[in-house]
Structure 1
Amino acid sequence: MRLDELPNWLPAWCLDHLGGEPAGVLFQARQVSTVFGLRLTDGRDVVVKARADDGRASSCVAAQDRLAERGFPCARPLTPVVGVGALAVHAEEPRPGGEVLHGDSPDIAVRCAEVFARLMAELSGVSVAPPLPNPPWVRWDHADSGVWPAIDSLDCRDQSVVSEHIVEAAARARRRLLAAALPCVLGHADFEAQNLRWQGRQVWAVHDWDSLAWQPEAALVGAASGSFASAGPPTLAPIASSEAFLAAYQDVRGRSFTAVELEVAWAASLWMAAYNAREMALCGGTPAGGDALRAQATERLRRANA
């Protein structure tokens, strides 16, 4: 992307909130947010993130800032969230480097669970307004009709391509999650390999703080236990690896889950996998996650008491 291709609002925003205009574009990416890596006229490198303003961003950035202050490995925000029309915008320091950890073995699950336990322990001391609505892949508590939260870009597509086993697994997992009525906490809801960077055996960076959620601890841990190995298109970890993740998390936190919490964790792992499998089916993505879901659904539902 060239400088003259940047959004019209961005140069003035950088000058107002960062004290310098863009002199070069380092990168541009689009996922939940549109992300611009910029070099300013004074030589500083910054990252500016813009996403649709749904009311969540301020809490997410505030929580990220608290963790960065405490030394948790994440990018440090440079500004609070600022409204720009229909967008929520903030800037943060770059945190380049590190490598993606590939694999879904129990050993890798334990390494990831230890990071997730540290992350959740840090967030337990952060007080922000709940970042609602939750990201759709953990929004089983929605009030929309049907199994899935309403997402126009998905709902307008041909639903017949979504296998019945995906819908059934989601429906049963959702009933179990809603029946538990556990208290909600702040947590990272997109804990995937693609959002972590490692230097050797040490985690270097956790990214995607846009995806904080307000759900029961056990549900957030369960979702992570199924998704931690996703280094690209979403996948579902083997059951033995999810089991190792859950056990390691409890060990690090020094508290055993109750029987209900364990059931909720397994249900959440299945809901997120079903949501992702549906999205892949509707958008013509890889069927790998749906295949893993088909192979594992019966056992995960049994463990969820669903």
Structure 2
Amino acid sequence: MINQLQQKYQLSMLALLGAVAVLGVSPFVVIRYQEGDFIAMLVDVLLIVGLISIVACAYCFKKIRIVSAIAAVFINAGAVTVAINNGVDGVLWVYPVCASTFILVRPVEALFINAVAGAVVVALADVFNIVSLNSFIVTSIMLSMSAYVYARHSLKQFDLLETLNTIDPLTGAFNRRSLRSGMAAALSSAERNGTQQLLAIVDIDHFKVVNDNYGHAVGDQVLRDFSAITMANIRKYDQFYRFGGEEFVLLIPEVSLQQQQACINNLREAIKNNLKTPDGKEVTVSFGVAPWLPGMTADIWLKRADEALYSAKARGRDCAVFSDDSAAIG
């Protein structure tokens, strides 16, 4: 899953940077006009219009990463243009733009953009007979490296936060909080493309007996082993969630009607053959499976799978029941 929290953060930072830049540049439009420097005034107006347009596109199209990259290139091009046209005063704009780039794009990308912008300024700006070239290069590099370290640290914090927010710490499966967004994406894909989707609720049979006979530490290990076996036997784009306790949910996209029963039964057999208690007794699972149907909501989809699971338990467990089929597999 793409990091939704980071997307919202990037969107808010893009809007904030746009607002700060517009407020910072706007007075210079008036100043350039009063000074009669209409070329510089036009550059400032273009910067303001461009920034407003970029932020508006981000809110409208939600392509935050692409729009942020465009914004990073745009503000650096603007800073370079101002530095070349406005001399010493223009060079000062390079520093805030350099720092802002690290907020908009990934740290390595920001380093590259800043390096290109800095090289163009050094090559074309006619100010280094007044400003020390060595000082400009050293201070630009120090600013870029400081911002790089901070941006890398922030990226790691977002990754950690995403893990804590979406992953069940015991089993490594996605947690229940992630399930709703995963189901929403699956339903959207199914409605848009007509691809078949399966939702399966998987319950470990007689798990309370495992806890009672062996203790909760062994029960936890059984949950971990079950998750590891399951994740090793599903495709990389299938999604596996811990629903609660010993119940888990599988979202299986793009599986044909002919393959559905074989897919579920193969997974059930793999779990049965490999999931054991400490004394070697097998641990089985029951499946309640609901294929996607047009117009189905997330709640109805879960309900149909849950009803199929209860049917599987009623038939003696260690089997899979499909919501649209009276026969049990296993």
TM value normalised by structure 1: 0.29
Find the structure with the greater CA-based Rg. Answer: 2
Of Structure 1 and Structure 2, the greater helix share is in 2
Q: Quick one: higher RCO (CA 8 Å, sep 6+), 1 or 2?
A: 1
Of Structure 1 and Structure 2, the greater strand share is in 1
